[in-house]
Structure 1
């Protein structure tokens, strides 16, 4: 379990994390989301003692990370896949880590096989691709069979098979009662992996809830309705709390009423309806809705004018 209480980190006048309180519970996968500069990496670094909090506390399995006598057995962390001795082989890197905690060589071989590193185990880690480096980082995190696992962007650089493997690994470990805390910018992957989400923006917790609750609570549910009589059905559905919009020919998007109510109104007024589809909010939509006021670094929005120079170059 990870417990943060009023956890804060300031760099001079800059607030990286502004007094957050949250709990990451065992037995589930907890996702950690937030825009660039939101405080995710700083928070994770404070959890494992790489950054010292300005104020507040954070404990892992009941103690501060620095107070654990056997940290590799308590917490496994992947924060920077490049944090390896580049001249060492993957095997020797893991063997050196294992020696610090009297972890048997058998376990080194187990995590190498588990993470798909067998064929490159004796090669220099400095020559690894991004994806293989990620696998070595995950192997390092798993080495001590820890109760708590912290993974920052674990699928970065992995191929589809590797992404699926990380997803299944996270779920498997949570099923064993372990604490799994991971961040990712891949919303589709987080939606399939996480049970609970903590969303941070500008150093403050924006949301801390089960993923289903976040998806249900950010936007009103909508229903796609296809009918040849768009104008009439729009008039019949209009009322207090009901929004009716037209997305394309013969198609309406309606919020404020459910499919049963729409079907009943259409039937009572002899309006032909040939599609009624509830539209679920995606995690990406929910995330953008939650963080729209917490984005520190804004990218340029492209329109036709902005795209014109690119089109001109392509035409040369």
Structure 2
């Protein structure tokens, strides 16, 4: 279990993490989301003792990580897959980590095979692709067979098979009763993998709830309807909170009403309905709505002419 209690981190006048409190529970994959600069990495670094908090505390299984006698057996973390000496092989890197905790060579071989590193285990890490480096980082995190695992962007650089492997791995670890704390910018993967989400923005927690609750909380019910007399249908549904957008002559999207009410209105008015499809808000849609006011670094769309003008101005400067 991971617990943060009023956890804060300040760098001079800038507050990177502002009194955040949350719990990542055993038996669940807890997703940790937030825009760039929101405080995710700083929070994870404080959990594993790489940064000292300015206030509050973080504990792993009830104890600050640095105070565990055998920390690798309590928490395994992938925070920076590149933090490996490039001239070491994957095997020697893992063996060196294992030696600090009295972990046998048999376990080193187990995690090498688990991560699919067998064919390259004796090769220098400096020649690894990004994806292979990620696999080695995950193997390192699992080396001590920990009850708690933190994975920061674990699918970065992985091919589709590797992405599926990480998804299955996270779920299987949680099914064994372990705590899995997972950070990713891939909303589609988070939707498939996480049970619970913690969303941080500008250093503060802005959501802490099950995945579906966060999705449901960010949008009214929407229905796509194709009918022969859409205006008659709209007239019958006119009510506070119900709005509609006509997409095509016989196709409309209605917001603020359940599909059953649309079907009942169609029957009452003799409207022939060809299509009645509930529109499910995606996690990405919900996340963007939730963090729309929390984005510190925001890009802006430019037309090709705008890009050309910006480029020209840059040359003139």
The TM tier, using the shorter chain, reads: over 0.9
Separation in 2 of the partners of 1:226 and 1:306? 39
Match for residue 202 of structure 1?
A: 202
Match for residue 314 of structure 2?
A: none
Match for residue 263 of structure 1?
A: 263
Alignment of 1:241-256 (within 5 A): 241-256=241-256
Alignment of 1:216-255 (within 5 A): 216-255=216-255
Residues 8-46 of structure 1 show CA distances to partners (whole Å, capped at 9, x for unaligned) of: 000001110001000000001000000000000000000
SS class of match (2:220):
coil
Alignment of 1:52-131 (within 5 A): 52-131=52-131
Cα distance, 1:305 vs. partner? 4.6
SS class of match (2:273):
coil
* Residues 259-268 or 245-254, more deviating: 245-254
CA contact (8 A) 2:232 2:269 kept: no
Match for residue 314 of structure 1?
A: none
Match for residue 7 of structure 2?
A: 7
Residues 95-133 of structure 1 show CA distances to partners (whole Å, capped at 9, x for unaligned) of: 000000000000000000000000000000111100000
Separation in 1 of the partners of 2:235 and 2:2? 53
Q: TM-score, normalised by structure 1?
A: 0.96
Separation in 2 of the partners of 1:51 and 1:125? 26
Q: TM-score, normalised by structure 2?
A: 0.95
Match for residue 143 of structure 1?
A: 143
SS class of match (2:36):
coil
CA contact (8 A) 1:33 1:40 kept: yes
Cα distance, 1:308 vs. partner? 7.2
Match for residue 18 of structure 1?
A: 18
Separation in 1 of the partners of 2:287 and 2:249? 29
SS class of match (2:62):
coil
Aligned residues: CA RMSD? 1.3
SS class of match (1:261):
helix
Cα distance, 1:229 vs. partner? 1.7
Tell me, which stretches of 5 or more residues in structure 2 are unaligned? 311-317
Pair 136,203 (structure 1): closer, same or farther in 2 beyond 3 Å? same
Match for residue 313 of structure 1?
A: none
Separation in 2 of the partners of 1:13 and 1:246? 50
CA contact (8 A) 1:141 1:149 kept: yes
SS class of match (1:97):
helix
CA contact (8 A) 1:38 1:201 kept: yes
Match for residue 306 of structure 1?
A: 306
SS class of match (1:295):
coil
Separation in 1 of the partners of 2:118 and 2:249? 56
Separation in 2 of the partners of 1:256 and 1:290? 19
CA contact (8 A) 1:238 1:244 kept: no
Residues 152-211 of structure 1 show CA distances to partners (whole Å, capped at 9, x for unaligned) of: 000000000000000000000000000000100000000000000000000000100000
Separation in 2 of the partners of 1:98 and 1:248? 64
Separation in 2 of the partners of 1:7 and 1:91? 36
Match for residue 181 of structure 2?
A: 181
CA contact (8 A) 2:3 2:23 kept: yes
Runs of 4+ in 1 over 6 A off after TM superposition: 307-310
Cα distance, 1:307 vs. partner? 6.4
Separation in 1 of the partners of 2:291 and 2:253? 24
SS class of match (1:274):
strand
Separation in 1 of the partners of 2:49 and 2:32? 18
Pair 66,279 (structure 1): closer, same or farther in 2 beyond 3 Å? same
